[in-house]
Amino acid sequence: MSSNIVTLDHGSGGKLTMDLIKMFTDYFGNSGPSGMADSAVVDAATNIVAFTTDSYVVNPIHFPGGDIGKLAVCGTVNDLAVSGAVPRYISCAFILEEGLKISELEQIVESMAKTAKAAGVIIVTGDTKVVERGACDRMFINTSGVGFLKQKHRSIGLGINVKPGDKILINGNIGDHGLAVLSIRNSFTNDIKTDCAPLNNLIENCLAVNDSIHFMRDATRGGLAAVLNELAEKIGFGVILIENSIPLAENTRGLCEFLGFDPLHLANEGKVIIVAGEGWEDILSTMKSHPFGKESQVIGTIVDKHPCRVVLETEIGGSRIIDIPAGMQLPRIC
């Protein structure tokens, strides 16, 4: 590379753009079917396609346990996986701020390549734009993804088969991602790390166990509270959550109390909520046997009463309604 920072020339379509593209293809290993054509032309595994897109603007771009690149791959992989699909192909588009160090970009690209490899997906196409200083914050990434699914898994993302008595499962501690990012922004020193991880392998294992899974969703922005409220609203049943059974790390709990945050509202990047009927015990043990699911727990049940509401049974046996978060969580004093 002739320059060690990103300049507007890198987005001009000329020689420097070619240099950047070469870096991407070197890392993403795209000597494959698409080559350097305008579109990636790929094979389909089944004739049912899941297709998703998401943009990543996290600040800072590095945080304990991950970075924006890992996030951008995991986010899209997970969105496909929770829809019951096997993720296969990913696209990635970068918006880069003029002045970004090439070495920093390279770190992120390397992280994306590593994550994609671990998840078993291929980054097949992409795009780069460079904007003037101040027009974006170092880098924004958009990823889209395509996955393929079996007919019988087609409605998992919709939850139409969910019924009272179904159990609600989660694959581990909640709130870590939200607090890891917040801690680094506010220079809090602790050992909270993001839970960012590709969940497709864990989910594939679970779907292979039996046909008890009625719904899946990754609990990202808005946390557990947002996902379960959305589900309750959609299916017209109630949700009961048991506070004592929701996995929460001690340091996360402590910082939540300190800042007045509700862990149920905090973002996760490696947590799937699975709603399963008869046969859920086998799903749970499959989750527990996976490296990303060791702390898996049953955290609640779908019920007939209080339709469309999520009710938490508190640690002392009381109960309260869990609402959708009103907006971003902010440090509070009361």
Partner 1 sequence: MSIHKFGIPSLLPENIKLLSGPGCPVCVTSRYFIDDTVACSKIDDVILTTLGDLIRVPGTETSLHEEKSAGRDIRIVYSVLDAIKIAQDNRDKKIVFPGIGFETTAPLSAAAILQATEIGLDNFYILSAHKIMPPVMAALIDEGVNIDGYICPGHVSVITGTQIYEPIVKNYALGCVVSGFEPLDILQSIYMLVHQIEKGQPELENQYCRAVKPEGNIKAQKMMYRVFKTRDDWWRGIGIIPDSGLSLTDEFKAFDAGQLFESLPGTHSDKDKGCICGEILKGLKTPEDCPLFSKACTPVDPVGACMVSSEGSCAAWYKYARGAV
Partner 2 sequence: MCLSIPAEVLSIDGDMAEVSVGGTMYNASIRLVEDVDVGDFILIHSGYGIAKIDEAEANDTLNLMQEIKKKAERS
| Chain residues in the site for partner 1 (CB under 8 A) | 186, 259-260, 305-307, 312-321, 323, 326-327, 330-334
Return the number of the residue (190 or 301) whose C-beta is nearest partner 2: 190
Output 219 or 248, the one with its CB closest to partner 2: 248
Q: CB of 319: closest distance to partner 2 in angstroms? A: 16
Residue 259: burial class (beta carbons within 10 Å; 0-12, 13-18, 19+): middle
Give the one entry of partner 1, partner 2, none that residue 254 binds, where binding means its C-beta sits below a cut-off of 5 to 8 angstroms depending on kind.
partner 2
What does 315 interact with, of partner 2, partner 1, none (CB < 5 to 8 A by kind)? partner 1
Q: How far is the CB of 312 from partner 1 (least distance, A)?
A: 7
Q: Provide the β-strand partners of residue 313.
A: 242, 319
What b/e readout covers 77-106, taking b as 16+ CB neighbours within 10 angstroms?
A: bbbbbbbbbbbbbbbbbbbbbbebebebbb
Candidates 43, 134, 189, 291; binder of partner 2 (CB under 8 A) is 189
Strands 139-148, 49-56: pairing kind: antiparallel
* DSSP secondary structure, 201-248, as one string: HHHHHHHHH-S-EEEEEE--TTHHHHHHHHHHHHH--EEEEEGGGS--
Residue 323 touches which of partner 2, partner 1, none (CB < 5 to 8 A by kind)? partner 1
Q: Which range touches partner 2 (CB under 8 A), out of 22-30, 147-155, 186-194, 264-272?
A: 186-194
- Choose the contact partner of 192 out of partner 2, partner 1, none; CB within 5 to 8 A by kind: partner 2
Check binding of 250 to partner 2 (CB under 8 A).
yes
Under the criterion CB under 8 A, does residue 51 sit at the interface with partner 2?
A: no
Token code pair at residue 196: 């960012």
N residues, the chain? 334
Q: What is the DSSP string of 34-66?
A: TTTSSS-----SSS-EEEEEEEE--SSSEETTE
Q: Which of 7, 42, 107, 188 binds partner 2 (CB under 8 A)?
A: 188
SS3 123: strand
Take residue 142 and report the two structure tokens written for it. 């958009």
CB of 179 to partner 1, least distance (A): 14
Stretch in the footprint of partner 2 (CB under 8 A) among 139-147, 218-226, 246-254, 306-314: 246-254
* DSSP, res 5: B
- CA-closest candidate to residue 54, choices 92, 107, 96: 92
Please say which residue, 86 or 192, places its beta carbon nearer to partner 2.
192
Beta bridge partners of 320: 312
Would you say 6 or 228 has its CB closer to partner 1? 228
Which stretch of DSSP H or E encloses residue 181? Answer: helix 176-185
Q: Which is nearer to partner 2, 79 or 176 (CB)?
A: 176
Q: Which residues bind partner 2 (CB under 8 A)?
A: 183, 188-192, 250-251, 253-255, 257-258, 260, 317, 332-334
